[in-house]
Structure 1
Amino acid sequence: MLIRRSLGERIFDVANAAGMLLFSFVTIYPLLYVVFASFSDPSRIIQNRGALFYPLGFTLDAYEMVFKNPNILGAFANTLFYVIVGTLLNILLTALGAYALSRRKLMLKNPIMFLIVFTMFFEGGLIPLYLLVQNLSLLDTRWSLIIPTAVSAFNLIIMRTAFQGVPYDLEESAKIDGANDWSVLFRIVLPLSMPVIAVMILFYGVSHWNSWFLATVFLQTRELYPLQLILREILISNDTSSMSVGIASGDQMQIGETIKYATIIVSTAPILFLYPFLQRYFVKGVMIGAVKE
């Protein structure tokens, strides 16, 4: 049956599509600008004062300088350690806490949940956190960026709600067959909750990848710096001289501009490539982990 659409509905559809295209362009264009600028000729990009819709020339000199810089390579390796080890610890501890809190017979479950939710609205602040890390002898170590953020209360609640959606009959039948809580968690609950696990990996992984503030507070050794902290130093201090060694002083300022753009791409691209692999789980994982009664 062909439904005849009114003029108002067609105008709305056109306006809606135009608005979404404009919004998409405004969102994507800054990233495209950085990509185009990173491949552009330094002498031409420094003279450009308008919009950029394609590379002005083409050169990989900026990327060559970035990957030759030992600070960038070391910081990249540090960030991979923080993301991989930190995310694995996050998922493990969050899953253990969520499983315990999703059990029907857990004693004091409501008071414990109240204390967890309380931390989402009220926290001690930076100074007590610093003193805690100092007393645990974690200052200026890689673990200072992993252990203090091992569990997110928000993510714990999402995962707990998802675990509550697993049919209780499966747990009962498994325990009749002799399974304990460890077997129920790792053989039944987690395999049935892979969408929310994928979402948690994305949440925690992106958080670790973008983290820089705690590094400025807890780290003094430059060899432990994450990539985002090195990027922050480059952009704020406007100093790219360490990456342009061997280049004439007159050309350092020109190639320094493209080095900044190339560094942004190098620090952003890995997490952008990860997202499509987890995207299909994202909506489903958030929905099954939505807070519901």
Structure 2
Amino acid sequence: MNGALLNRQAKKDTGVLLKDMKESRGMKAFRIFNLAFLLVVVFLTVYPFLNIIAQSFSSEGFINSGQVNLFPRGFNVETYKLILADSTFWNNYGNTVLYTVVATAISMVLTTTFAYAIAKKDLKGRSFFIGIAVFTMFFNGGLIPNYVLISSLGMRDSIWAVVLPNAISVFNLLIMKSFFENMPRELEEAAAIDGLTQYGVLFRVVLPLSKAIVATMVLFYAVANWNSWFQAFLYLDKPELFPVTIYLRNMIAGASNTASAGSTVENVGQIAANIQSVTIVLTVIPILCVYPFVQKYFFSGIMLGSVKE
């Protein structure tokens, strides 16, 4: 009886029953546990990268003895000086920037126009085109036929061998298609009544309202192209055309001779100890600088393109 009176009095004073307060305490405990769990996951995710950064600034003795964890030991920048003075590194770095910009631009044009077309439910042959796109997610010609195709088209040892073969990601295509399908048709119909052509509707109405999904796709494509190395490894033979990922791959595989890059006898051991970590750090810096500016579009962009009304 007293419990019922207390519940009614609490609801009258605060609008919340005592049992609801107990649930809120449970929710608070859940949030604390959830926060602790996520912090552990974040630490386990970030630790390898922090360890790489620490090794890149550490001296040879501490690295070889396994004493480097989160912080540098025996601060040293000899390897950074060597890599930054290597003209091959900067040439490959410039190639990576060029390949990423061109490949991302081509991918966005093709993906956006393709997704917008197949998002129209009155498009003749729509199911056929969607089926072709989905089919390529599970089946492809194989490595040798692709190599023969690229060679027969005369694209080997050129930028096109890197930027064209994977121009459209079907995963990204389907996300954009779903987003365009959920866009109100009344907007496009009103624009058409005002005299806009189909291209005018796309560029002046649809795309300005699709900034979130477009920014998300740009980042997805840019990261994929920046990290890509196999296409260049397969189709490029001239070292002056290599992206920086091939430079990194050669460092990790031991294909590059550090002594030939201008090192001296005294610092060869130091360079061999952390040249991989130094190159990794220098390679990922641009992507890390871009992420904070577009991260806010990740959730909204993917959810807008994935949830149907």
Instruction: Give the TM-score of the pair, scaled to structure 1.
Output: 0.92
Q: Is the 8 A contact 1:228 1:267 kept in 2?
A: yes
Alignment of 1:83-232 (within 5 A): 83-232=100-249
**Distance in 1 separating the partners of 2:62 and 2:160:** 41
Unaligned 5+ segments in structure 2 are 1-13
Which of 32, 40, 45 is matched with 1:27 structurally? Answer: 45
Tell me what 1:70 maps to. Answer: 87
Q: Percent identity?
A: 38
**Residues 213, 302 of structure 2: 8 Å contact kept:** yes
CA contact (8 A) 1:90 1:150 kept: yes
Structure scoring higher RCO (CA < 8 A, sep ≥ 6) equals 1
Residue 290 in structure 1 maps to residue 306 in structure 2: yes
Letter in 2 for 1:154: F
Q: 1:90 to 1:169 in 2, by over 3 A?
A: same
Q: Deviations over 1:207-255 (max 9, x none)?
A: 101101111111111111111111011011164515751412x430222
Partner of 1:277: 293
Separation of aligned partners in 2, 1:149 and 1:83: 12
| Residues 43/51 of structure 1: CA separation in 2 closer, same or farther (3 Å cut) | closer
Structure 2 counterpart SS, 1:188 = helix
CA distance in 1, matches of 2:194, 2:133: 34
Once the two structures are TM-superposed, the CA of residue 35 in structure 1 deviates from its matched residue by 0.8
Aligned equivalents of 1:130, 1:43: Cα separation in 2: 42
Q: List runs of 5+ in structure 1 lacking aligned partners.
A: none
- Paired residue for 2:278? 262
Matches of 1:215 and 1:151, distance apart in 2: 17
Task: Give the Cα separation in 2 of the matches to 1:120 and 1:186.
Answer: 28
Distance 1:224 1:244, change over 3 A: closer
CA 1:186–1:13: 2 relative to 1, 3 Å: closer
State the Cα deviation string for residues 98-118 of structure 1 (Å, max 9, x = none): 111112321111111111111
Larger radius of gyration: 2
